[in-house]
Amino acid sequence: MNWECFITCAVTGSGQSHLKSDKVPTTPAAIADACIEAAKAGAAVAHVHVRDPDTGVPSRRPELYREVVSRVRESGTDVVLNLTAGMGGDLVLGSPEAPLPLNPAGTDMVGASERLVHVEELLPEICTLDCGTMNFAEADYVMTNTPGMLRAMAARIRAAGVKPEIEVFDTGHLWLAKALADEGLIDDPVLIQLCLGIPYGAPNDADTVQALVNAIPAGWVHSMFTIGRMQLPFVAQAVLAGGNVRVGLEDNIWLEKGVLASNGDLVDRAVTILSAMNVRVLTPGEVRTKLRLATPGHKTTIPQGGHA
C-alpha cells in the first residue's frame, strides 16, 4: 500500500479522442490550460503530447511543445512537466499480403536525436521513454522502439539531465528497463509507468498487475493506469499495489456513464478516491524531492560512469 501518492494527468495523448469529446485539448493554448487546470485540481505531474492546432492530429513539432511549456511556466503554476518522447516510432505496414512498401500515411520513423529535439531544447523535468515494441489494436500498426534506439535515446536523455519515465506496456519492456538500468543508462530512482489494458499489451487484470509489480526492483518508483472505464477504479488499484496514479483525457474521456470529463474533473475524482482511502496526495515539490528531479530548464551534472 502506498500512503503517499502523486497524481500524473495525461492531458491529451496522440489518439483520435478529440473526435469523440470537445473537451480534449488540441491547440497549444488549450493544452497548456489543461496542464494548469490539472495542477490546480491536485496533479503534481502533467504529461504532454501536442497536436496540430488546425486538424487535431498528433504532432511532434518542437514549436508546439515550446509554446505549451512557455505558457505553463509563465503562468507561475507549480507542476512537473513530463513531455512525451514517444512520437517518431510509428510503423504501418502496407497490408497482410503486401507489407512493403510501408504505408506513408501512418508511418513516422525518425532517429533518436530528432525524437528528442524538444526535450533537449526545453529540458522538462521528465520525459517518457517507451521501453519496447508492441502491436496495438490497429491491424497493421506497430509501435517500434528497438533496443538500439532505446539505448541511444536513454543516453541522450541522461546527458540532458532529464528524468526518463519508462513506459512499460508488457513484461518484456520491464526486462529491457532493467537492462538499461544495469548499463548505467537510467539513474536512480528509476521511474516506471505501467500502461495496462491496451491491446495487445499487458491486460489490466489483478494477477497481471501484481506480477508486474512483483518484478519491479526495490527502490524503483512506479505509477500505473489503464484505459477507458477502468481508469478511475485503477486509482485505488494503483495505491493498493504500492504505486502512484495516472488519469487524464489521453486514456479516458468519461467521468461517468454519459458524462464527458475534463482533465480537472478526472484529477478531482482521483483526489476524492485517494482521500477516502486516507492516502495523502503529494505536491509537485515533494515529487521533485522523491524523484531527484533537476531544476526545470537546467541540466544536472552527472559524474562520468556514476549516478546523479
Query: Computed from CA positions of residues 157, 159, 163, 165, in that sequence, does the dihedral angle turn out positive or negative?
Result: positive
In terms of residue numbers, what domain contains 49?
4-85+124-132+144-291
- % of the chain beyond a pLDDT of 70: 96
Q: Does any domain span residue 106? A: no
Partners of 47 in beta bridges: 10, 82
pLDDT at 79 over 60: yes
Give residue-wise pLDDT tens across range 212-267: 999 999 999 999 999 999 999 999 999 999 999 999 999 999 999 999 999 999 99
Residues written for the chain: 308
DSSP 200-250: TS----HHHHHHHHHTSPTT-EEEEEE-GGGTTHHHHHHHHTT-EEEESTT
pLDDT at 297 over 80: no
DSSP 3-state helix, strand, coil percentages of the chain (rounded to 5)?
A: 35, 20, 45
Q: Does any domain span residue 116? A: no
pLDDT of residue 68: 98
Separation between Cα atoms, residue 74 and residue 268, nearest integer Å:
24
- What pTM did the predictor assign? 0.94
Give residue-wise pLDDT tens across range 174-218: 999 999 999 999 999 999 999 999 999 999 999 999 999 999 999
Q: Does any domain span residue 119? A: no
Give 301's pLDDT tier (boundaries 50, 70, 90): very low
Q: Does any domain span residue 138? A: no
Instruction: Give the residue ranges of DSSP H helices in the chain.
Output: 28-41, 62-75, 112-115, 117-122, 147-160, 171-182, 206-214, 233-240, 263-276, 284-291
Give residue-wise pLDDT tens across range 119-170: 999 999 999 999 999 998 888 999 999 999 999 999 999 999 999 999 999 9
Q: Does any domain span residue 74? A: yes
CA angle 296, 299, 305 (to 5 degrees): 140
pLDDT at 302 over 50: no
pLDDT of residue 299: 57
pLDDT of residue 19: 85
CATH classification of the domain holding 191: 3.20.20.70
Q: Does any domain span residue 296? A: no
pLDDT of residue 298: 58
In the chain, the number of structural domains is 1
DSSP state of 109: E
